């Protein structure tokens, strides 16, 4: 896996945790939010491995529920207590790193 792919994987996991901070969601709903709101080009085939990895790590939990019209079951994911803690730590790290990197790459070079 390339460094670029590794970075995107980490960002996608952070974005998934952030999407679940507002409450339980099902996979395709999370995917739509990552694409439309976060601007991440996550493939449909990638969202479920991310969700399963986060579930195995104990940062999210899943349960089957019927959708709004009560016809189709969907697997809903939500943050665990450990997930909320991980999200807080990850957001703080991301903000610190992105601020530093933005300052670094935006610096003016001396002639």
The string of pLDDT tens digits covering residues 20-69 is 999 999 999 999 999 999 999 889 999 999 999 999 999 999 999 988 78
**Domain extents in the chain:** 3-103
pLDDT in tens, 71-106: 889 999 999 999 999 999 999 999 999 999 999 998
Tell me the pLDDT band of 6, cut-offs 50, 70 and 90.
confident
pLDDT in tens, 12-34: 999 999 999 999 999 999 999 99
The CATH number for 3-103, chosen from 3.40.710.10, 3.40.640.10, 3.40.50.300, 1.10.10.10, is 1.10.10.10
Which tokens is 41 given? 């080009």
49 by Cβ neighbours in 10 Å (0-12 / 13-18 / 19+) ranks as exposed
Burial, 51: exposed, middle or buried (Cβ in 10 Å; 0-12, 13-18, 19+)? buried
């Amino acid at each position: 896996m390339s460094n670029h792919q590794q970075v995107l994987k980490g960002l996608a996991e952070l974005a998934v945790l952030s999407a679940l901070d507002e409450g339980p969601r099902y996979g395709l709903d999370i995917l739509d939010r990552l694409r439309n709101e976060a601007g991440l080009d996550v493939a449909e085939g990638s969202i479920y491995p991310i969700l399963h990895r986060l579930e195995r790590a104990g940062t999210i939990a899943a349960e089957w529920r019927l959708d709004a019209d009560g016809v189709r079951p969907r697997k809903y994911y939500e943050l665990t207590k450990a997930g909320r803690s991980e999200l807080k730590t990850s957001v703080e790290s991301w903000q610190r790193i992105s601020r530093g990197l933005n300052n670094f790459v935006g610096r003016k070079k001396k002639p």
